Amino acid sequence: MKPKKEIDMTGEVCVRCCTGQLEAVCEREYFRHGQALVIIEDVPAWVCHKCGERYHHAHVYKRMRQIAAQSDQITEHVRVPVAHYQEEGTA
């Protein structure tokens, strides 16, 4: 079977904001898996330079799911402080 040709979305108009253009990047992604949040480095994506919307090929998203599900893929753990939002003056 012949591999599918990758689509390059660089320069296309963002469908979210309808004004920004997409730019190819390899960046950090914050991926939710169940109750966990997994940080995955160097993920290929297209990002709108105006609104920040992110786009991935389906195979990239599938791979992020696999990585997040496999604990042996986790290379380090970080502690992140968590706070709850409250309006000022409420206790």
Read off the pTM: 0.76
Q: Is residue 65 a contact partner of residue 36, using CB atoms and an 8 Å limit? A: no
Distance between CA atoms of residues 22 and 45, nearest Å: 9
Number of other residues whose CB lies within 10 A of the CB of residue 22:
22
| Domains, in order of start, for the chain | 22-73 (3.10.20)
Q: How confident is the model at residue 74 (pLDDT cuts 50, 70, 90)?
A: confident
pLDDT tens-place string over residues 34-68: 888 899 999 999 999 999 999 999 999 999 999 99
If you average pLDDT over every residue of the chain, what do you get? 90
Give strand pairing partners of 21.
13
Nearest by Cα to 24 from 37, 11, 36, 34: 11
Q: Is residue 21 a contact partner of residue 49, using CB atoms and an 8 Å limit? A: yes
